[in-house]
């Protein structure tokens, strides 16, 4: 089985989709997939579907949805004796468990690659860290579960995933900057700062890349644009460390150069 959550929901067995067309069974499949290998309690599944206003028939209806998913599994697996639908979507005390092979769900593979990248960064292996972070980010095909109705539990998971995605992107860019890839990053960072006009970390990385590419004036423009946006949108000034980075660029501080920055992102060199 191959399940993809980082984009539109996709779940296939031997190339055959098992994603139900109805909204609530899709929602259940998405939640079971996110927590594949773990028992999802019945009350948790019902809360995801109906929130706090559950109909009297909630339990019976949930069982019907589980039956629909098992029928799709049975049809996809056919007579395979090793993958009966009740074993793949198993009943456990108080809940249900989706039993799949490790690596079958893209979000789990994403988390694994991020961990591998983090371990490489801890060993000061920026090339390996950047490669693994890039591989993890390549699993995203758009907003996670973009075609699935979202309840309270899925909403929490989607917020976590999006925050993780942005954080991993920042760590990958930091590794690339340490590797001297500032020229390669310019177009990406220009696009990212436009899409995230209040994100100080991305703006700092863009400033460093522009400075190292010999465009000090553009780095200063990026800072001024962020300062204006923060003031107009939030009534705030840039943080102390971003102001220090701004001063370092004005002074052409040698610490901004890749060979001087070495193990730390340029932003952190001027941290409070």
User: Whole-angstrom Cα distance, residue 197 to residue 24?
Assistant: 36
pLDDT by residue for the chain (272 residues), tens only, comes to 999 999 999 999 988 999 999 999 999 999 999 999 999 999 999 999 999 889 999 999 999 999 999 999 999 988 876 678 899 999 999 999 999 988 899 999 999 999 999 999 999 999 999 999 999 999 999 999 999 999 999 999 999 999 999 999 999 999 999 999 999 999 999 999 999 999 999 999 999 999 999 999 999 999 999 999 999 999 999 999 999 999 999 999 988 887 655 555 555 655 43
Q: Is the pTM of this model over 0.85?
A: yes
């Amino acid at each position: 089985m191959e399940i993809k959550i980082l984009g539109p929901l996709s779940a296939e067995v031997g190339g055959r989709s098992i994603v139900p067309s109805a909204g609530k069974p899709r929602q259940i499949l998405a939640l079971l997939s996110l927590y594949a290998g773990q028992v999802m309690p019945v009350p948790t599944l019902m809360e995801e579907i109906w929130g706090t206003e559950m109909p009297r028939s909630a339990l019976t209806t949930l069982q019907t949805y589980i039956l629909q998913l098992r029928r799709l599994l049975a049809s996809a697996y056919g007579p395979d004796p090793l993958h009966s639908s009740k074993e793949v979507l198993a009943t456990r005390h108080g809940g249900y468990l989706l039993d799949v092979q490790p690596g079958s769900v893209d979000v789990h593979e994403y988390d694994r690659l991020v961990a591998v990248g983090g371990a490489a960064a801890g060993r000061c292996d920026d090339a390996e860290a950047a490669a693994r972070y890039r591989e993890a980010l390549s699993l995203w095909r758009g907003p996670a579960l973009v075609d699935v109705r979202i309840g309270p539990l899925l909403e929490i998971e989607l917020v976590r995933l999006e925050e993780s995605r942005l954080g991993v992107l920042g760590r990958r860019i930091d590794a690339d900057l340490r590797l001297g890839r500032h020229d390669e990053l310019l177009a990406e960072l220009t696009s990212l700062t436009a899409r995230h006009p209040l994100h100080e970390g991305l703006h700092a990385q863009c400033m460093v890349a522009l400075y190292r590419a010999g465009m000090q004036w553009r780095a200063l423009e990026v800072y001024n644009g962020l300062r204006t946006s923060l003031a107009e949108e939030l009534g705030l000034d840039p943080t102390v460390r971003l102001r220090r980075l701004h001063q370092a660029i004005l002074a052409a501080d040698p610490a901004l150069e890749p060979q001087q920055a070495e193990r730390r992102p340029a932003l952190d060199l001027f941290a409070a």
